[in-house]
Chain A
Amino acid sequence: MNTNKNSYTLIYAIVMVVVVALLLALVSGGLKETQNENVALDKKKQILSSLRIDLKDQDAAALYEKYIVKELVLNSNGDITSEERGKAFGIDVLKENAKALEQRELPLYVAEVDGKTKYIITVRGAGLWGPIWGYIALDDDKNTVYGTYFSHASETPGLGAEIATSDFQNRFVGKHILNDAKEFVSIAVMKAGKFAEGKEQIDAISGGTITSKGVEAMLLKSIGQYQEFFKKQ
């Protein structure tokens, strides 16, 4: 058989691509369900991490049921549109952010830790190389930060990627998102030695300036959407 003929090469390539595509589609379809369960479990772990709960060797799904008492869906006017369990959890924040502000559905998780209510907000923004996201838990005064969790897709290891460490995340604990006049100003992430006007701040990561600023912008934009709800209560 002449394997150097053009027609042979062409047919070979076509058959190969079709066979491989079929195979991959089968594998992907077959494993989809297990993968989605893993993604959901991972999301629960991330939400719990913002409450500073130690998850090592723990059943995250059971802890989630225990701590998260309510899952709310809000609109930008601050009205609760749904309290149905699972609805807020299923919201894809990335898709919501693409909509106009008035049409967005905002998930809010209400947790109870040692008898005290905490509000957990989903935040999402952009770092240097790709998306960054996380959860920020506020005390029941809706002002003091109780804990944070940040993660990223592809920030530089050792620099921007440090936002995923507890060392960075714990810098936010105890900071306030409102100024003295009770207006929402968020929290600034500043280079050591620089000071932000009229708001509280934490130290940025040396060498990770763009990612640090990305965190700052993400907090301002994401928490800002919930202001109407917090004002009402």
Chain B
Amino acid sequence: MNMKNSSMKHFTLAGWLSLLGIIVVLFVAIFASSLAPNDPMDTSPERRWKDDIKGYPLGCDNLGQCIFSRLIHGARLSLEIGFASRLVALAIGLIVGLTAGYFGGWIDWILMRIVDMFLAFPSLLISLAISMIMGNGLGTVIFAIAIVGWAEMARIIRSAALELRSSEYVIAAKTLGASDLRIMLTHILPNCLPIITVIFTMGIATAVLSEASLSFLGLGVNPAMPTWGGMVSTGKDYMISHPELVIYPGLCIAFLVIVFNVFGDELRDVLDPSHKGNF
């Protein structure tokens, strides 16, 4: 494996910082219920726009909901949707990519044309249309993001598998009579893992952005639920008097996306120095 090269690169400061950032966000997301001082969906007309109540660190929004608690729970929703939609996309991408890359020939040709079709679709419009048709909900959003994300993964996994197909150990395994499925799972898949890790990490950043865009346009999960995109969407109507309602959740989204992007970049430098996962 190329990980054991003498020229192996190490994580830079930015890499460690982004890892720390990811750990912090994961921690906040996992323990959201204990960390949040208030119920994120508890509305109250008396607390509307109040910013001096004890126990409400960042004040209250237009419905009197605790902004801080909503931000914390937003981290959980963003990550849940980010991870789940990427896992679904990865599952489809793996099946299609490995099959196309391993078998090659006309199977590869047909599968890659299907990938081309999905890459050509305007992704946000497809996600929006799916959300509209299926009605809002967690499952819908995960599906709507996964369905436009798998094609890119399939293409990258395919090109990695295509290279491994003619490697000596795959030919050796074939000569020994190993089944296609066995070769794919025990010889090709493990060697694709570095690239898969990289595209999975960076994909989470994209998925979080997509979720935020869907929520911003009002077609994400239930608008009452605390999502960062939804909070920005509410905040934009009050931007002149209360710009913080846009800024806080906006910075949260940017932070989450930055740490996953930087970490993915660093992972690529370490795991995949030839940048095969690049395109």
Is chain B a partner of chain A in the same complex?
no
